[in-house]
Structure 1
Amino acid sequence: MHDKLSTTPLRHALRRSAAATLSALSVFSVFAVTAALASSAYAAAPTPMKPGVYEEVVRGNNGPLTVRVTLTADRIEAVAIGDNYETDYIALEPMKNVATEVVRRQRLDVDTVSGATESTTALLRAVFQAVTEAGGDLNDFLKAGAVDPATLPGKTVKADVVVVGGGGSGLTAALTAAKAGKKVLLIEKHETLGGSTALACCSLSKPSSLDTGDATPAGEALRKTEPQLLALLSELGVNFKNDNAGSLAVEGMVLVKKLEDAARAAGVEMLTSTALYKIERADGSDGAVTRVLAQDGATRYEVDAPAVVLATGGFAYDIERVISTMPRWTALTPFATAAKTSTGDGIRIAETAGAAVFEDAHVIAGGLGARYAELDRAVALSGGIPNGVLVNGRGVRFVNEAVPDLTEKAAMEDITWVIFDAADAKRAETFSKYLTFEVVVDATDWLTLARRMGVHAETLAQTMKTYNEGVA
C-alpha cells in the first residue's frame, strides 16, 4: 500500500532510491550495476601501450580515489595511490598490497581484499582505465600465459565430458555429469575457482514464485531447472536465508565451496590456471566437437572428449563486444562487479569454432547503488521501495516499487531517480552533504525539482499527479 505523495516543499533529489511518505521530496539517481562471468584466451604478443604516467580518478568506497599508473610499452611499471577519502586503517594497506601484486605479477585479475572490497576493486578499476587509455589490451594482463602453446610439451587427456569454466555454472555442470557416472575434466583459467559466483550474494527464486507468466524460453527453462538446482544444493547441505518474499539467499563463496567439494568427491579432475585456446570439430555435416586445446604456460593439453560444456560466462571487460552489442552500457563497464577474468575470450573461441551466439546480449544487473557508501547506508534498496517513486530520465514512473527486485527494470533505463520523503531529518542531513557531488538535488516544487534532475518538468508533474491520485 503506497502512501500519498504530497507536493508540499521538496527537500532533496539524489541519485538512488528511498522509501517513505513524500511530503518534502528528495530524489536520487540509481546506478544499475552490471555483472557477468568469465572465459579465457591466448594472445601471441602484448599490444603496445603508450608509455607515460596516467592519473585516473575513480569512485572509491567513500568518495573519489586518485590513482597514478606508470606504464611502459609492455609493462605496468608502478601503481601509486593519490588523494582519496578511504578509511586509512581499513583500506590503505589492502590497496597498497593489491597495487604491489599488480606490478609484481603483471596481472589485473588480482584478488580484492575482504573488508576493503570496494576500495581495492576501485584501485583495480583505475589500472584497467589506465591500460585502456594507453591503448593496451586488457587481455594481455588477464590471460593464463603469453607463450605460444605450439612450443609447449603436449599431454593427451581423455574424458567423457569437458567443462570449461569453474564458476557456479561450470561446477554444477561438472558435478551433475560426474553424478551420472561420467569421467569429467574441468578447466579454469584463473588460479582459483568460483568466477563471479564467488563475488556474489547468490539469490535463487523459490519454486512458488516462479509462475510469473514469462513464456519465453528463458522463463520456461527457469521454471524447469530452478527446483532441480535447489534440490541439488539442499542435498549438498547449502543453507539458504530468506532475503525477501520471492528469493532464497546464500553467500557466493559458500556456494562455490560446497560445489567444489562435492565435485572433487565425485571424481571431477580440475585444472586451474589453464586457459582454453581452441575448440576442434570433426569434418562433415554434423561438425561434432572432438577435442579442446588448453595450456597453463608449461603444458599444452589436448583433451579428447565427445561432450564439451562451455561455462565461460560473459564479457563484462571485453570493451569491444560491449560497444558492439550494448553500447549504452560502455560507460558503466568500470563499475562492473564481475570477476576480472570476464574478458569474453571463451565466447570468441566458440565463435571461431562455428558456434551460434545468442544475439540479444543481456546485462545481469547485480544491484542498485548510489555513488557513495554513506548514501547506500542512508537508503537501503533491498526488499523493494514500497513508499518511494522510481522515475527514469524522462520523468516517467516505470515500475511497481513494492516488488522485491527492482534491479532488472532499473537496468533497462538510461538513469533512474527515486523520489522520497525528506522529512526524515537524519537522512536529509546525510543527503545534504552530497548536494555538490551531483548526486543529490533539492527543490520546493515539482517543476523546479524536475529541472534540477534534468527531466521533463511537465512529465514529472503529471507522473506525480497520477501517482497521488492512484493512492488517494
Structure 2
Amino acid sequence: MKKNLFGRTGKRFMALGLTAMLTVSLFAGCTKKTVPSNSQSGAEPTTGVVTTEEGKYTAGTYTATVTGMHEMTVTVTVSETEILDIKVDHQETPGVGEPAVESIPAEILDIQGLGVDTVSGATLTSNGILEGVKECLKQAGLSDEEIENLAKIKKAVEEEEDQELTADVVVIGAGGAGMAAAVTASQAGKKVIVIEKTGKMGGNTILSGGALNAVDEGSETALANKDSVENHFNQTFEGGDKEGDSVLVHSLVENAWSGVEWLKSLGMEFNDGVFTVTGGMWPRAHKPVEPEGTGFFKTYQEYLNTHSEITMVYNTTAKEFVVENGVVTGVVCTGKTGNTITVKASNGVVLATGGFGQNIEMRIKYNDITKKWPTLDESIPSTNTSGITGDGIIMAEAIGANLVQMGNIQLLPLGDPKTGSLSGNIEHAVESRIFVNLEGNRFVNEGGRRDEMTLALFEQPETKMYIVMDSDTYKEGNELNNFGESIADLVAAGRALKADTLEELAALMGVPAKNLLETVENYNRYCKGGDAEGQTDEFGRILFTDTDGVNNGINNGPFYAALRVPTVHHTMGGVQINEQAQVMDTNGNVIPGLFAAGEVTGGIHGSNRLGGNALTDTVVFGRIAGTSASEFTK
C-alpha cells in the first residue's frame, strides 16, 4: 500500500484543531477573543484581537455560485452562533481541485473562521470556496469588517522534527513525467521516494485534455490516416521551426506507441480511434476514457496500491540538490510545517517539477528575449496548476545545469475568460469547429500551429474569440466535452451559448448576424472542396473531415458557441538533457546522478509544441529517466 510519512502527526494536529476551535470560537457569547495566528518556522505565534457579539448570524441556509477551475455552488448553513455545515457542489478535477473541496470546508468548520491557507496546486478552487463561504455569510448578516475578523482566525501549527530519508531513486514532482519515472524505477526493482509540494499527484497533466499523440505504425488507423512515425517526426520538428534537438524528437516519436502500450499494461483505458487535438496537425491523438488527465493518475494510483516500493511524500517542497564530489545524491526539502526533510538516493535523482507557466516574473523575463508575445504579464492567465512556478529549473541552474530555449513559451487561444483554464472548451476535435472574432468573422487557420492561432487572436478586438460549432457531436445535449463537462451544464452556467438558428446564436454572441451567416456559408463551401472556381480555404485550412469520414460543415442545429481568450499553456524551455534523460551542464558535460523529464526540460519541442505531444513527452522521457536513474551507480 502507499505510505504516508506524516500520518504520525495527524492525531496531534486534530487535537490542536479541537483546542483551537474551543479557544477561538467567536460565538460563545463573549465580546472579545484572543486568537493564535499561524506561526513562522521557529517563531512564537502572534495574536490578533477579534471582536464580535452573540447571535450575529441570521440562522438559515445560504448559497453562492463562484468559479474555481469550473463553476461551483457553495452552500452554507448557520445557526445564530456558529457555522453548522458547508457543502460544495462542484466539477473540480479529481486530484487537483477535489482536495481543496474536501479540506477547506472541514477546516473552516473546525476553527469557525476563515483564516484557511489555500491548498497548494489548487489556488483557484481554494479561493473560489472561500469567496463562496464569505458571500453566504454576508447573506447571513455579516458585515465586511466581521468577514475580515473571521479571516484572522487561524489554526495553530506545530513544526515537525527534521527528517532524513533514503531510497534507491528519488523523484521530484508527482506529475505525469514524475509518476512515469517512479513506476518505471519500481518495475526495475528499485525503492522509490517521490517528493511532491502539493497534497496530491497530478501536476499539469491532470488538468490537460488527456490527448496523447502516438503512431501505431502499420495499424489500420495509421494507414487510413496516411500517418507514420516519420510524419510525426517531421511535423514535430518542423512545427517547432527545427529548433528542437532532432535526437530527442526521434526518441519522442519512436517511443510514443510503446508508451501507450505500457499504460495499457498498467490498466489504463483509451477510447477507440484517434483525433486531431488543437495544434496537433494530424489525427494521431489517443483519448483516455477518463476525463482530462485523471486516467493517468488513477492508473498510477492503482499501481501504488499494490506496490510498496514507492513512497509518496506530499506537501513537501524541494529547495536544493545535495551534491557530493560532483555527483547529485539527493535533495533538501521543506515540509508542510517548516521542518527540513533531506532525501538521499543510492542511485539517481529524477527532476520532474514542470515548467514555469505560473511564474509571471520568469514569463516576462524570458519573453523579453524573444519578444514573441505582446505581453505575458498578469493580464494573461494560464492553464497551469498554481504550483507550476519553475522551482526545479531554478534549482538545476544553481548547480550548473544548462538552460535552453527559455524564451519558447506556448500560448493557446482556448482559455476560459475568467480562469484561463481549458475547462468549458466545447470542441471535441479540430475538424468540428471554427473560430470567429467579435465581429463574427473567421481570422485564422483553426487547424494550424498553436502560436499562429494565438498570435492572430491577439490582433482581434478585445483579444477574444468564439468557438462555433453545430450539434454533430452534441446530438442529445448531455454529451461531455474533453473535460468531463456536459454541454447542457455549460449552457445553463452561461459558459456556452446555444441557439436553434445561426441568427439567434449571433444575437446571443453579440456579433452581426450577417457576418456570422456569411462566415459559416463560406466555411461550409470550403468543407466541400471550394467554390465553383475551385477556391480553397482562405486561411489555408486542410482539416475538415472527421476521422469517421463524416463532414457536414456547420449546418445542423442547434448551434453552440463559447468565448475564449489567450492563455499561457506550456513552457518549452528548461534544463538540457540528452537521449538518456541525463541533465547537461553549461560546459556540455553530464551532471552525474541527475536526470530530468517532462516540462522541466527544454530543447525537445522547439519554438512551438504540437498539441498532444506534451503527454507523450511525460510518458516517453519519464520512462527513460526512471530507467536511467535506476541504472546509475556512483
Shift of 1:154: 3.5
User: Which TM-score applies when normalising by structure 1?
Assistant: 0.57
Residues 70-113 of structure 1: per-residue CA shift (max 9 Å, x gap): xxxx99x9xxx999898xx9624339997867943322537489
Aligned equivalent of 2:303: 262
Residues 316 and 333 in structure 2, CA contact (< 8 A), matched pair in contact too: yes
Shift of 1:166: 0.6
Report matched runs for 1:126-145 at 5 Å: none
Shift of 1:200: 2.6
* Partner Cα distance (2:66, 2:340) in 1: 46
* Partner Cα distance (2:438, 2:251) in 1: 31
Alignment RMSD: 4.9
Is 1:187–2:195 an aligned residue pair?
A: yes
3-state SS in 1 of match to 2:349 = strand
Residues 319 and 330 in structure 1, CA contact (< 8 A), matched pair in contact too: yes
Flag the structure with more relative contact order, 1 or 2, with Cα contacts below 8 A and sequence separation at least 6.
Answer: 1
Shift of 1:349: 1.9
* Partner Cα distance (1:196, 1:370) in 2: 16
Residues 204 and 385 in structure 2, CA contact (< 8 A), matched pair in contact too: yes
Shift of 1:155: 2.8
Select 1:309's aligned residue among 350, 357, 370: 350
* Partner Cα distance (1:158, 1:366) in 2: 41
- The aligned amino acid for 2:302 is D
Select 1:249's aligned residue among 253, 264, 287: 287
3-state SS in 1 of match to 2:211 = strand
Select 2:453's aligned residue among 403, 406, 410: 410
Aligned equivalent of 1:274: 316
Identity score, percent: 22
3-state SS in 1 of match to 2:298 = helix
Q: Number of residues paired by the alignment?
A: 337
Select 1:291's aligned residue among 325, 330, 333: 330
- The aligned amino acid for 2:284 is G
CA gap of 1:246–1:164, structure 2 versus 1, over 3 A, is: same
- The aligned amino acid for 1:238 is M
Aligned equivalent of 1:431: 506
* Partner Cα distance (1:429, 1:387) in 2: 18
- The aligned amino acid for 2:120 is D
Is 1:160–2:168 an aligned residue pair?
A: yes
User: Where does structure 2 lack aligned partners over 5 or more consecutive residues?
Assistant: 1-39, 41-45, 49-61, 76-87, 91-99, 109-113, 133-155, 216-221, 238-243, 276-282, 471-498, 520-534, 542-634
* Partner Cα distance (1:271, 1:370) in 2: 32
Is 1:442–2:483 an aligned residue pair?
A: no
Aligned equivalent of 1:359: 405
User: Which TM-score applies when normalising by structure 2?
Assistant: 0.44
Aligned equivalent of 2:115: 104
3-state SS in 1 of match to 2:115 = helix
CA gap of 1:260–1:380, structure 2 versus 1, over 3 A, is: closer
* Partner Cα distance (1:220, 1:380) in 2: 33
* Partner Cα distance (2:178, 2:328) in 1: 18
Shift of 1:346: 2.3
- Higher mean C-alpha displacement, 364-373 vs 209-218: 364-373
Residues 368 and 407 in structure 1, CA contact (< 8 A), matched pair in contact too: no
* Partner Cα distance (1:445, 1:178) in 2: 58
Shift of 1:371: 4.1
User: Where does structure 1 lack aligned partners over 5 or more consecutive residues?
Assistant: 1-73, 125-144, 436-440, 450-464
* Partner Cα distance (2:186, 2:340) in 1: 24
Residues 305-329 of structure 1: per-residue CA shift (max 9 Å, x gap): 2411110001222110011123635
CA gap of 1:109–1:221, structure 2 versus 1, over 3 A, is: same
Is 1:323–2:364 an aligned residue pair?
A: yes
CA gap of 1:225–1:291, structure 2 versus 1, over 3 A, is: same
3-state SS in 2 of match to 1:177 = helix
Shift of 1:165: 0.3
Residues 280 and 353 in structure 1, CA contact (< 8 A), matched pair in contact too: no
Report matched runs for 1:87-236 at 5 Å: 91-93=73-75, 94=88, 103-107=114-118, 109=120, 111=122, 120=128, 153-207=161-215, 208=222, 209=227, 210=229, 211-212=231-232, 213=234, 214-215=236-237, 216-217=244-245, 219-236=249-266
Larger radius of gyration: 2
